[in-house]
Amino acid sequence: MANVIVKNLPNSITSCNLFCGCIASYMAFQSKYEYALLFIVLGAVFDFFDGMTARLLHVSSPIGKELDSLADDITFGLAPAAIAFSLFKEVYYPEWLQPVSHLLPYTAFLIAVFSALRLAKFNLDERQSTSFIGMPTPANALFWGSLVVGEHAWLTSDTFNAIYLLILVVVMSLLLVAELPMFSLKFKDLSWGHNKISYIFLIVSIPLLIIFRLSGFAAVILWYILLSVLTRKKS
């Protein structure tokens, strides 16, 4: 009995991630963005611990890898897509965009599609064992959740409109599959020399979270993208 529990523990944790992703997606479709972000964050916590648990217990399996990707595409693909979909229904549409206002919201699901492509590439790409190629799906999901929760009033004002949102959807989707090396926060040791980029990232991230509060995660993700671009030749 104990062996059965141990063997299935990592997959159970992954299933909790999937469960959180389903709730986050539902909340996003209901425009309850705070709850959507909450369950995306909870899903990210489960996503962190399922792999760690599998390694500690030495019970990794092919089904676990597949289940993990499926769960991630719901929590970090469909949920942020649902957030963008609902936001499209709230943003300002200039008069010239009115004829396609009923169609533009569906472009939000590009996020889910490109997230699936990103996860499929990650499973097969041996270059991503210590760093990433393209933006990780959890980072993209946190960006959308944090941005909409923290800046909802501005995003739904007439200073921001649907075309800007469409551009943001396309850019963030393409970043998921871009051949852009992005550093990982995995520390081999605590030395400055081996972890300089990670330390710089963390030092700047702390004031960003303090200054921007709820939208701080979005600011941190943008900083992560910028720093990856600036340091890609040195990485």
The confidence score (pLDDT) of residue 82 equals 98
Please give the Cα distance from 165 to 84 (Å, whole number): 8
User: Which tokens in the block code for residue 10?
Assistant: 């990592």
> What residue segments make up the domains of the chain, in order of their start?
2-128+136-182
Domain 2-128+136-182: CATH class, spelled out: mainly alpha
Model's pTM, two decimal places?
Answer: 0.91
The confidence score (pLDDT) of residue 235 equals 43
User: Which tokens in the block code for residue 90?
Assistant: 């709230």
- DSSP letter (8 states) at residue 180: -
Q: Residues 115-141: pLDDT tens digits?
A: 999 999 888 777 766 678 899 999 999
Q: Residues 200-220: pLDDT tens digits?
A: 999 999 999 999 988 999 999
The confidence score (pLDDT) of residue 195 equals 80
One-character DSSP codes across 65-79: HHHHHHHHHIIIIIH
The confidence score (pLDDT) of residue 3 equals 67
Residues 6+ apart with CB under 8 A from 72: 17, 21, 47, 115, 119, 137, 138
DSSP reduced 3-state for 50: helix
Q: How far is CA 110 from CA 71, 151, 169, 208, 219, in A?
A: 17, 22, 7, 28, 22
The pLDDT confidence band at residue 57, using thresholds 50, 70 and 90, is confident
The pLDDT confidence band at residue 187, using thresholds 50, 70 and 90, is low
